[in-house]
Structure 1
């Protein structure tokens, strides 16, 4: 499982498709899919955008805390 497996869980919790999330982040779907699969490291700036999109902390995305808003 990839380093940022929580992005898949968050996406599914919001009932969004990979295409919808990629569009919201302004990137190609294939790039987003690689992040979700852990095939590619998420750049810090993109991690910030993802955290804002879902309303969670960066620590939560990086699996440093079990709480979404730490």
Structure 2
């Protein structure tokens, strides 16, 4: 589920996979595998993506449909 969310968030924020991979300081192919659901995304990357997209980790992980960050 999360792989769809991270892909949708990236597209909604007009970012390329390369830009997000660079933000996460990782190889592009590794990030692509996260978006395709081939590889499990590590917790530290979920946290950084939540910061990048100003959303909650729960939203990225599909635990809520509310993208607003928690206070």
**Equivalent residues of 1:4, 1:63 under 8 A apart:** no
Map of 1:21 onto structure 2 = 20
Query: What residue ranges of structure 1 are gaps of 5+ in the alignment?
Result: none
- 1:3 offset after TM fit, Å? 4.0
Give the aligned partner of residue 12 of structure 1. Answer: 11
Q: TM-score, normalised by structure 1?
A: 0.91
Partner of 1:42: 41
> How far does residue 4 in structure 1 lie from its aligned partner after superposition?
2.4
Name the CA distance, whole Å, in 2 between partners of 1:4 and 1:40: 9
Shift of 1:5: 1.0
4+ residue runs over 4 A deviation: none
Mapped partners of 2:57, 2:13: distance in 1: 18
RMSD: 1.1
